[in-house]
Amino acid sequence: MFHVFDHTGAPVASTSIVEWGGRRGLNAGFRTEITFSSSDKVELTVVHFNPRGAAATAYNTHGISVANAMTTPAEQVDQTLTLAGAAIVRVVLNCPQNEVLIRRFCYSTKGKEKPEKPEKPEKLEKLEKLEKVEKLEKLEKVEKLEKVEWKEQKERKDNKEQKDQKEKEFKEKPEPKELKERDKGFQEPKPIKEIAENPFQSTEQMQPPQPGFTGDVPANIEERLARLEALLGQSHFISEDLRPDLSGGATKYEEDR
């Protein structure tokens, strides 16, 4: 807030922006007071048109002067006055000749943390609800995973038990009677060495009798050969009364080729 005063110390009716010597700014009158929120640093740019220039003083919240700055005698030149101090809330610019323009004013609030606005109760309630929902969803996911794992473990255990039971039953299953009876008649073949020592032993001694075979087995090779020759010298294996009559066939009158 800018308050401009005349030579009597009374506030002017209204502030004015003017242009002197190509410089545009706020006419500071004979004294200007600037108030603002607390700051640790203030910058004030002014231009004056008389040798006496202007002087600035900064005051804190207790009304105590904490910084001072003054222009140089150079006229019609922008000059920046810097005021630094703790908790500055007011700056007073004195202009003895009423020939000063304020071109720029800045103050800094750096280092001051803005108080955080308390969250509205509705937002807090919504956040709490969301957190509860997320917790419930997490618990449900954990429970589902535990159920699935327990089910898989149970299935694996049951499968293993079934497999063990089948193996046990297979091992304990009695051997069929037919296999046992067949194995009884089976004789282990004699070693090759024994056969080589006695090559003319009887067929009964070399192998078990074949099913459906009856009769005496020749004791030597001569008898076996005689029997074979007798079989080969017999008549045709189909007797004459069993042969078909081809005299009335379709090829009766054809020449033999």
- The answer to whether residue 193 scores a pLDDT higher than 70 is no
pLDDT average, residue stretch 32-39: 91
- Model confidence at 213, pLDDT cuts 50, 70, 90, reads very low
Q: What are the backbone dihedrals phi and psi of residue 184, each rounded to the nearest 5 degrees, phi first?
A: -65, -40
- The answer to whether residue 249 scores a pLDDT higher than 90 is no
* Cβ-proximal residues to 256 (8 Å cutoff; 6+ apart), any chain: none
On average, the pLDDT of the chain sits at: 77
- pLDDT tens digits along 117-136: 655 566 677 777 788 888 88
- The answer to whether residue 215 scores a pLDDT higher than 50 is yes
Q: What is the pLDDT of residue 58?
A: 94
pLDDT average, residue stretch 31-42: 91
Q: Pick the range with the lowest mean pLDDT from 7-11, 77-81, 86-90, 188-192.
A: 188-192
Q: What is the pLDDT of residue 238?
A: 63
**Token pair for 59:** 């005051």
**Token pair for 28:** 């500071």
Q: CA 201, 202, 206: angle at the middle one, nearest 5? A: 85
Nearest C-alpha neighbor of 72 from the set 51, 57, 92, 93 = 51
d(CA 167, CA 173): 10
Alpha helices in the chain (DSSP H): 121-172, 177-184, 192-197, 203-206, 221-232
Q: What is the pLDDT of residue 189?
A: 60
- Model confidence at 10, pLDDT cuts 50, 70, 90, reads very high
- The answer to whether residue 151 scores a pLDDT higher than 90 is no
d(CA 193, CA 202): 16
Residue with tokens 């929120």: 37
Q: Which CATH architecture has domain 2-108?
A: Sandwich (2.60)
Q: Pick the range with the lowest mean pLDDT from 28-42, 97-111, 142-156, 239-253.
A: 239-253
**Token pair for 230:** 């007798």
- The answer to whether residue 113 scores a pLDDT higher than 60 is no
- The answer to whether residue 67 scores a pLDDT higher than 90 is yes
- Model confidence at 211, pLDDT cuts 50, 70, 90, reads very low
**Counting beta carbons within 10 angstroms of the beta carbon of residue 254, is it exposed (0 to 12), middle (13 to 18) or buried (19 or more)?**
exposed
- Considering only residues 141 and 63, tell me which one the structure prediction assigns the higher pLDDT: 63
- Considering only residues 91 and 135, tell me which one the structure prediction assigns the higher pLDDT: 91
- The answer to whether residue 207 scores a pLDDT higher than 60 is no
Beta-bridge mates of residue 88: 39, 60
Q: What is the pLDDT of residue 198?
A: 56
Percent of the chain clearing pLDDT 70 (strictly above): 67
